[in-house]
Amino acid sequence: MWWQDLLWGVWNGLTAWAVFLAHLFGAWSEFPFYHVARSGGWYDFGFLLGAGAWSWGPAGGGAATRRRSRQRGDET
């Protein structure tokens, strides 16, 4: 099902950074960085969402802070 591939892609994307660092030091060789057997449109989309999720927080938080400061009249 497409939603299973999407969820697996998000999960593998979220854990990709930790698995990548572990692979650099020779650990967790039995866990793949990217699950080739599941590759496809929905898995790839989920993987990109999950891998990029680490950058969503700082980007969104900065925009919200700028928006609040403009509403108060604190122009920068």
- pLDDT of res. 39: 84
Please give the sequence-ordered ranges of beta strands (E in DSSP) within the chain, or none if there are none: none
Question: Quick one: pLDDT at residue 31?
Answer: 80
Once rounded to an integer, what is the mean pLDDT over residues 3-10? 92
Residue 65 confidence (pLDDT): 59
pLDDT at 58: 58
Convert the pLDDT of each residue in 8-65 to its tens digit.
Answer: 999 989 988 888 888 889 888 888 778 888 889 999 999 999 988 877 765 555 555 5
pLDDT of residue 44: 92
Residue extents of the structural domains in the chain: 2-72
